[in-house]
Amino acid sequence: MNDEEQSRRTTLDAAWGQVRKNLRVSPGPRVFDQWLEPAVLIDDSEPDLIRIGLPSAFMTNYVRSHFADRLFHEFRAQVPGVVRVSIETLTDSRVRRTLDTAAPELKAAATPAEGATVPGAAVSPRERYAFDPRFTFDSFVTDQSNQVAFNAARKLAEPGAPQFSPLYLHSQTGLGKTHLMHAIGHAFLASSPNASAIYMPAERFMFEFVQAVRARDTYAFKARLRSVDMLMIDDLQFIAGKDSTQEECFHTVNEFMTMGKRLVIACDRSPQALEGVESRLVGRLGSGLVADIRAPELALRRAILAAKCAAMPGARVPAEVLDLLATRISSSIRELEGALNRLVAYAQLIGSPVTMDFALATLGDMLRGTQRRITIDEIQKAVSSHFEVKQLDLVSDRRAVAIARPRQIAMYLAKRLTTRSLPEIGRKFGNRDHSTVIHAVKRIEDLRTKDVEIDGAVRSLLMQLEG
């Protein structure tokens, strides 16, 4: 190699290193590790051509379809003379020739790891996959609704031979299945440093399998999945009605069970409730440990918000606002956390403190969509029962504090929990003027900051009426 060729090679190696760094940031480490990490720079004498090599036809087709333009623009930014980027499939001999001249960090990326079973497979058995750092066992809040699933997930992540496999998690959307799967991945790889794991949604399983069939490279697809120590497939319901994908999924599940490897499946329903799925696959899925996650109770929703808020730097959310979110948003933990994230982000962006009025203004549509319609009559009944006064007293002219204070609280709740106008609320409380309602609302708002008993009574009534 003459000086000119050596200089060009040094320039390309430096450019390739920077391109890899950029691609790890965008589209992100997880995508990079799966599709672009095995790529190598092929030595070539054409000055305007960049040749990228990948170890299988399946990966080559995928990278061509999704990253060709990105690779071209990234290289043009580093080497302006580049006119074309070629993405090719490597043969074993070309891999060796390429590695002989590649930079050390590229040799490490492209060399098959010890114990690899299939030359040219997209993933070596020891390769580790990135899991979301937010989703760990420590950050998963539990109660009776999810305790069995949580304990089973921790058990499966422990080193040694698994006591059960597959672990089948099912619940409605947004209740923590994906969180537990990522937590299993974190814990398993931490306890078994030489192990490997793959997490993939069922849609990706289906897409990659179809691409492999089209590329006539199903062997590499099968080998990549079956070479790892743990496989996790999320949202299994999406393979319903997809016969060829179900066939491959069945053989994959069967292989993992036969080999005693860890397998985790998540779905929005139990195995027996799956429609459009082959009975033999249903039988395999139901033969392991089936754990459901039920909708969270109010106490769990409140605890999740408190934990989430504590983990957000600089977030100050009053207890009454957390109570509001926990009572109004009950069907999905994901939606609950999303509401809190939105609230805190908006407050920080405009430099405003989080107050009840701010929460209602910011999340009005979301909260109204989940709110049960509450009537003033219901409020009056709840207040009279709580303070042990007659409902007629709340609409009477009596001014004794024992009556006036519950009446003010009832007006405050009517303003907060109903869409009635101030004059309408006034009429429901003995034809009082709207200014009386305004005074009552302001008075209770003030007392809640000073009087623990009043604040406790209001919070209790809010939970009762909204729960």
CATH superfamily of 376-466: DnaA protein, C-terminal DNA-binding domain (1.10.1750.10)
> d(Cα 328, Cα 371) in Å, to the nearest integer?
6
Tens digit of each residue's pLDDT (9 = 90 or more) over 234-249: 999 989 888 889 999 9
Q: How far is CA 272 from CA 145, 350, 431, in A?
A: 20, 50, 59
CB-count exposure of residue 30 (10 Å: 0-12, 13-18, 19+): middle
Q: How far apart are CA 32 and CA 38, in angstroms?
A: 9
Structure confidence at residue 420 (pLDDT): 84
Q: What residues are designated binding site for ATP? A: 174, 176-178
Residue 451's identity, in one-letter code, is D
> 3-110, superfamily in CATH?
DnaA, N-terminal domain (3.30.300.180)
**What is the C-alpha separation between 279 and 244, in angstroms, rounded?**
14
Residues of the chain with pLDDT under 70: 1-4, 26-28, 30, 44-45, 91-130, 365, 368-372, 467
d(CA 404, CA 387): 11
Q: Which two tokens stand for residue 128?
A: 């580790």
Please name which of 228, 35, 263 lies closest in space to residue 118, comparing C-alpha atoms. 228
Measured distance CA(124)–CA(31) in Å, rounded: 16
Are 64 and 37 a contacting pair, CB within 8 Å? no
With a CB cutoff of 8 Å and minimum separation 6, the contacts of 246 are: 239, 277, 278, 281
In CATH terms, the superfamily for domain 147-292 is P-loop containing nucleotide triphosphate hydrolases (3.40.50.300)
Residue boundaries of the structural domains of the chain:
3-110, 147-292, 298-370, 376-466
How does strand 84-89 pair with strand 49-54? parallel
Distances (CA, A) of 446 to 133, 421, 440: 42, 21, 10
- The confidence score (pLDDT) of residue 28 equals 66
CA dist 187 and 153 (Å) reads 10
For CA atoms 215, 218, 220, 221, give the dihedral sign. Answer: positive
Show Cβ contacts of residue 56 under 8 Å, excluding neighbours closer than 6 positions.
Answer: 89, 120, 121, 122, 217, 220
Q: 40-42 and 49-54: which strand pairing?
A: antiparallel
Q: Nearest 10 degrees: CA dihedral of 92, 93, 99, 100? A: 160
pLDDT at position 118, please? 32
CA dihedral 423, 427, 430, 436 (to 10 degrees): -10
298-370 maps to CATH 1.10.8.60: yes
* 338-360: burial string, b at 16+ Cβ within 10 Å, e else: ebbeebbebbeeeeeebeeebbe
Q: Could you tell me how far CA 396 lies from the centroid of its own chain?
A: 53
Distance CA 210, CA 318 (A): 51
Which SS3 state, helix, strand or coil, does residue 51 take? strand
- What's this model's pTM, rounded to 2 decimal places? 0.56
Question: How many C-beta neighbours within 10 Å does residue 431 have?
Answer: 9
Sequence ranges of the binding site: 174, 176-178
Closest CA to 229 of 280, 178, 193: 193
Predicted confidence at residue 350, as pLDDT, reads: 86
Phi (first) and psi of residue 55, to 5 degrees: -80, -5
Nearest C-alpha neighbor of 336 from the set 351, 354, 321, 358: 321
CA 198/CA 34 separation, integer angstroms = 10
> What are 169's strand-pairing partners?
266, 291
